[in-house]
Each structure stands twice: as C-alpha cells, then as structure tokens.
C-alpha cells in the first residue's frame, strides 16, 4: 500500500476502511453542506505575501495556549464516537497527541471514558462539554473531568439542537452493537437510540441536551470547578465580547465543521472580527477546514493563537490507528515549517496580518 502524503489522500483512503454510515457521519455537513464546503473555500480566498531574504535557517513552531507549552500551534478538536474509525478510538488519538505535545480535546460523546483517556499520560487534555437537561449529569461530568486532570472545559455553544445532517437521516445513524457513549452509559444509562427514518443522534440531542442555555448559565458552570472555560462555536464579535465578560479565557471560532447551521459564515471569515473584538483579553483559536500547513499559516496571520483539526484525525485513525493520527500531525507540522520558511517567518511571532490579503 502506498502511504498517503497529504491529508486529502488520507481522506480518500479512509473511505475504503470505513463503513458507509461511519464515513458519512464523519464527513457530512448540515442540509446542503454549503458551510462545510465554504470552510475550505475560505482558505483559497486568502493569499500570502511572503517576505524575502529573511534568515529561516531554523524554524520555531513552539507556542503557549492557556499557559501550556505546545510544540506547534495545533490541537485536536473534540470529535464523538472515534471507535467507529478504529477499535482503539480516543485512546489512540490521545497517545498520538501526547507524543506530539499537542492538546487533545475529548468529546462528551467519546467511545472511551474520560478516565481511560486520562490514563494514557498526563497530557494536555481538555474536556468538551454539552450541557444536558439533567444538571446533575452535567455537574458529574465536570467533576470527573477535573478529578481526572483535564486542564480546561471547552463548552460547545452552537448546538442547542442538532443540525439536520441528511446523510445521517438517510442512513438512520446509530452506534453499532458494542459501542456506546462511554462517559454517559455507565453513569446514567444514556445511549444513542435506533430511530426509524431519522438519525439517532438527532433524537438524542432533542431528548437530552438543554436548548434553553443562556449566558447566565456560564456562572453556574464556572462554579463547578476551577478549570478555565473555553467557548467553542463563536462566530460574531459581540458574542466574543460577551464571552470575555462572562469569564471565558479562550474562544474557538467555529461553525462546528459545517454540521450545525448551514449557510453560516466560514470560520476563517469570522476570525478577524472576533480577534479585534476580544482585543487580547482571551486566547482565540480556530477550527474548520484546516487541511494544509498554509491553512494554519493563514489562520495565524489573521490572529488565531492556534488551530484545531477534526476530520483529518479521523481519517488517520481509520487508516492506521495511532500511527495514522501521528502522521496527520507530522504532515501538518512539516507543511507549516516549509510554509513559514517560504514566507520569511522563522518564529510564530513573525507571522502577522501583513502576510495575507483577503479577497
């Protein structure tokens, strides 16, 4: 088998390793998938203006996010049900993240428990949270994450209800026998239902996730632990300002990978307004559409401190487990190193808005 040499080739190869229901679940977006496609197209609209005759003999990719040192400005986004891609699921992803010294954000809907993932190593783990209608369940999840050594809470704010993903509806998506949301089934018996003519995950959200969440609920959430709070799913400057006012220390500019509101602005297009609105009062991260080292470079030039990758991790996981995830990270690291050298940037601090033109 010829090894993939970029993330697009990993995606094509992953199709041959995954059942159709699993591949469609991972790859699909909401409704007409306009935002899904625009997340990628946004990067093609940004052009680079490289600097010449700069000493780039050594490239330094190190940075800090919420005080934690990272070997490169890359994190692994929260993604549910990773055991659909590989039996080791989130455990394999966590091992690759630890080896690369990058943050992994574990999903509430993981198929390995947050405690089992924490046993991999004392890595740079964050826990992604959905607030359930059952406040006791939510409190217990936060307390478990804190006890297990997770370094931050990453609250997803763009999913009061689940976006309509028609491929999942057509496939009547559910988890196969033996797979469950590991953080929930033992504690509360919650599982993803089998639903005739509908996605079981959509039904789960309608039954369990609290659609009445407001800014005031953040005060309650912050009272549950001393963990720093990161809000994922912000697309407007005024919401970013409000997030800071309510104590968020980080913001992930994200449209949920095009899986929620179809027609929403591309994450990259939303980034500059949010960076300006936050004005250094919180760290701004970005996810959505990252497939090349040049994409990371463009996001950093527009003000992101780091980026999160999602689907490519799943493609690597499907192809060869931990080794595949590690290769995905390494490919992006190599591409970013080359892109920085060719742009005249030896350090991340050298990257600024003068490097790009947005059209």
Q: pTM for the complete prediction?
A: 0.97
Please state the residue numbers annotated as binding site: 25, 78-80, 107, 128, 130, 156, 165, 232, 254, 256, 259, 287-291, 310-311
For 7-37, what is each residue's pLDDT tens digit? 999 999 999 999 999 999 999 999 999 999 9
Is residue 256 part of the annotated active site? The answer reads yes
Distances (CA, A) of 203 to 21, 79, 197: 17, 18, 11
Show me where the domains of the chain are located.
Answer: 7-352
List binding-site positions for glyoxylate. 25, 165, 256, 259
Closest among 237, 250, 247, 241 to 283, alpha carbons compared: 250
Provide block-wise average pLDDT over 10 residues at a time, the chain (359 residues): 91 98 98 98 98 98 95 98 98 97 97 97 91 95 97 98 97 96 89 92 94 97 98 98 98 98 98 98 98 98 98 98 98 98 98 95
- Residue by residue, DSSP assigns 211-257 as TT--TTHHHHHHTT-S--EEEEEE-SHHHHHHHHHTT-SEEEE--GG
Protein fold of 7-352: TIM Barrel (3.20.20)
């Amino acid at each position: 088998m010829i090894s993939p040499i970029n993330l697009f080739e990993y995606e094509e190869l992953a199709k041959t390793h995954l059942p159709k229901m699993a591949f469609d679940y991972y790859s699909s977006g909401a409704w007409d998938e306009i935002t899904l496609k625009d997340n990628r197209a946004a990067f093609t609209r940004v052009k680079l203006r490289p600097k010449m005759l700069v000493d780039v003999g050594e490239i330094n990719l190190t940075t800090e996010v919420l005080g934690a040192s990272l070997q490169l400005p890359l994190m692994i986004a929260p993604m549910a049900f990773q055991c659909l891609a590989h039996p080791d699921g989130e455990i394999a992803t966590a091992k690759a993240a630890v080896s690369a010294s990058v943050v992994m954000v574990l999903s509430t809907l993981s198929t390995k428990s947050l405690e089992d993932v924490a046993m991999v190593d004392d890595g740079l783990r964050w826990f992604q949270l959905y607030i359930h209608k059952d406040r006791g369940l939510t409190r217990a999840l936060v307390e478990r994450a804190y006890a297990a050594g997770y370094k931050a809470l990453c609250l997803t704010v763009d999913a009061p209800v689940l976006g309509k993903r028609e491929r999942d509806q057509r496939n009547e998506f559910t988890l196969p026998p033996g797979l469950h949301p590991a953080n929930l089934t033992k504690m509360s018996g919650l599982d993803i239902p089998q639903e005739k003519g509908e996605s079981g995950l959509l039904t789960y959200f309608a039954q369990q996730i609290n659609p009445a969440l407001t800014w005031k609920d953040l005060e309650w959430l912050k009272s549950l632990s001393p963990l720093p709070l990161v809000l994922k799913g912000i697309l407007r400057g005024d919401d970013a300002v409000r997030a800071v006012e309510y104590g968020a220390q980080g913001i992930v500019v994200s449209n949920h990978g095009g899986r929620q509101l179809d027609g929403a602005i591309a994450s990259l297009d939303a980034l500059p307004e949010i960076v300006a609105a936050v004005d250094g009062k919180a760290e701004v991260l970005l996810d959505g559409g990252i497939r090349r080292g040049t994409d990371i470079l463009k996001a950093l030039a527009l003000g992101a401190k780091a980026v999160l990758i999602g689907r490519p991790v799943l493609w690597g996981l499907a192809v060869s487990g931990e080794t595949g995830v590690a290769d995905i990270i390494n490919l992006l690291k190599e591409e970013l190193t080359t892109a920085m050298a060719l742009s005249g940037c030896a350090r991340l601090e050298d990257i600024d808005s003068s490097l790009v033109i947005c059209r």
